[in-house]
């Protein structure tokens, strides 16, 4: 029988850990938790649940932590999900048969008969239902290793290869997003992530992907004007390192910085001019995404320009059947409800 290991790196994940270790309880033969310096009850909870706990001193490098964790695993295949990720209960019984089937399959790699060594599955962000693909299940072999201090990726080392089996629809990994369990302080995590991004950018100054990571960190930290400058550079994507779905989210986060800046009392006309320029870029690349119109509508609503508020909100209703991401609605619940009521008064259709 194929031996399966669940492996995860954690820091202050007490709020997520119980679910993280519960969803695969019937699946795994071994569970490895690598703690990188928790100050809450993460370690005590992991030990209470009876899993193997290892410690790794954090050095601002996610790959270093992941590679250390891999070195502790003894299973034939590793499931390396984060603490805020999981497979749904209905899909868990399908995972072992899937791995055992793939474990025996051979494919042609550069003219040689090889086995699949990675399983790529859909990855669903629960907050906004965006779907991408992730390689979080892989064969435990010395030739597969992580690289990159941030947005680390699984890669083949010298002399090895990476051949992924692609799962099309399900089972899928679900991601709940940030819980900000570190004393509820997202600013602290933002500062940590920006420090990591800065360090990585010293080595790869032309990386758009790293610059986008830095922009997101500054957004979390609440440094909106500085975040806007990093988004501006990142979204040029000069090296092509930002893939399309990541770019889509990048534009939404960029527009969100203008919402925050408006809340802080900055001059509305300048903010609106800049936001409309970003909106034009975003819509040119992703014309059917309703979120961009809603974000601009929210900006005009805060600027008390009701005519343009309605114009952009009405635009959103004609795109993607008026479907707006749940996270966008939740993050702007009070203003969004006012917009719904306003459109209701004007007898415009609104999303249920």
With helix as H, strand as E and coil as C, how does 173-207 read? Answer: EEECCCCCCCCCCHHHHHHHHHHHHHHHHHHCCCC
Provide the pLDDT for residue 154: 94
Q: In terms of residue numbers, what domain contains 137? A: 4-175
Provide the pLDDT for residue 177: 66
Considering the domain architecture, whether residues 217 and 318 belong to the same structural domain is answered as yes
Q: d(Cα 166, Cα 135) in Å, to the nearest integer?
A: 9
Could you give the 3-state DSSP secondary structure of residue 4? strand
Provide the pLDDT for residue 43: 97
Contact 97, 90 (CB under 8 A): no
Q: Judge whether 209 lies within some domain.
A: yes
Q: Which residues of the chain have pLDDT under 50?
A: 178-183, 351-352
How many domains does the structure of the chain reveal? 2
Query: Which one, of 342, 351, 256, 333, lies nearest residue 299 by Cα?
Result: 256
Q: Judge whether 181 lies within some domain.
A: no
State the residue for tokens 């679910």.
19
Provide the pLDDT for residue 294: 92
Considering the domain architecture, whether residues 147 and 246 belong to the same structural domain is answered as no
Burial class (CB in 10 A: 0-12, 13-18, 19+), 347: exposed
Provide the pLDDT for residue 180: 41
Give the number of other CB atoms < 10 A from CB of residue 217: 23
Phi then psi for residue 131, to 5 deg, are -120, 130
Provide the pLDDT for residue 172: 95
Provide the pLDDT for residue 181: 43
Contact 219, 190 (CB under 8 A): yes
State the residue for tokens 């695993």.
73
Side-chain half-sphere exposure of 23, counting CA atoms within 13 A: 22
Considering the domain architecture, whether residues 212 and 335 belong to the same structural domain is answered as yes
Considering the domain architecture, whether residues 277 and 301 belong to the same structural domain is answered as yes
Kindly give, in sequence order, each residue whose CB lies less than 8 Å from that of residue 240, ignoring residues fewer than 6 positions away.
208
């Amino acid at each position: 029988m194929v031996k399966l290991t669940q492996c995860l790196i954690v820091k202050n994940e007490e709020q997520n850990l119980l679910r993280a270790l519960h969803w695969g309880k019937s699946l795994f033969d071994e569970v490895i938790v690598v703690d990188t310096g928790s100050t809450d009850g993460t370690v005590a909870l992991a030990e209470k649940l009876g899993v193997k706990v290892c410690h790794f001193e954090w050095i601002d490098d996610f790959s270093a932590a992941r590679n250390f964790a891999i070195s502790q695993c003894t299973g034939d295949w590793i499931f390396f999900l984060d603490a805020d990720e999981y497979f749904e209960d209905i899909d868990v019984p399908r995972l072992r048969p899937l791995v055992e089937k793939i474990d025996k399959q051979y494919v042609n790699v550069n003219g040689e008969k090889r086995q699949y060594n990675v399983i790529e599955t859909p990855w669903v962000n629960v907050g906004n239902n965006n779907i991408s693909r992730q390689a979080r299940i892989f064969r435990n072999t010395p030739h597969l290793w992580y690289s990159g201090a941030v947005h680390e990726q699984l890669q083949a080392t010298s002399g090895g290869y990476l051949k992924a089996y692609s799962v099309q629809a399900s089972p899928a990994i679900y991601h709940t997003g940030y819980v900000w369990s570190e004393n509820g302080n997202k600013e602290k995590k933002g500062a940590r992530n920006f420090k990591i991004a800065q360090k990585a950018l010293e080595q790869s100054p032309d990386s758009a992907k790293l610059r986008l990571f830095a922009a997101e960190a500054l957004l979390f930290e609440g440094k909106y004007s500085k975040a806007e400058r990093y988004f501006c550079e990142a979204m040029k994507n000069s090296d092509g390192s930002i893939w399309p779905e990541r770019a889509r989210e990048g534009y939404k986060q960029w527009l969100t910085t203008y919402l925050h800046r408006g809340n802080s009392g900055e001059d509305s006309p300048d903010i609106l001019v800049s936001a409309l320029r970003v909106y034009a870029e975003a819509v040119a690349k992703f014309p059917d995404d309703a979120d961009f119109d809603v974000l601009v509508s929210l900006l005009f609503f805060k600027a008390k320009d009701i005519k343009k508020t309605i114009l952009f909100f009405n635009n959103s209703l004609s795109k993607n059947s008026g479907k707006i991401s749940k996270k966008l609605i939740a993050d702007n619940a009070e203003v969004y409800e006012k917009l719904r009521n306003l459109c209701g008064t004007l007898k415009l259709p609104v999303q249920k």
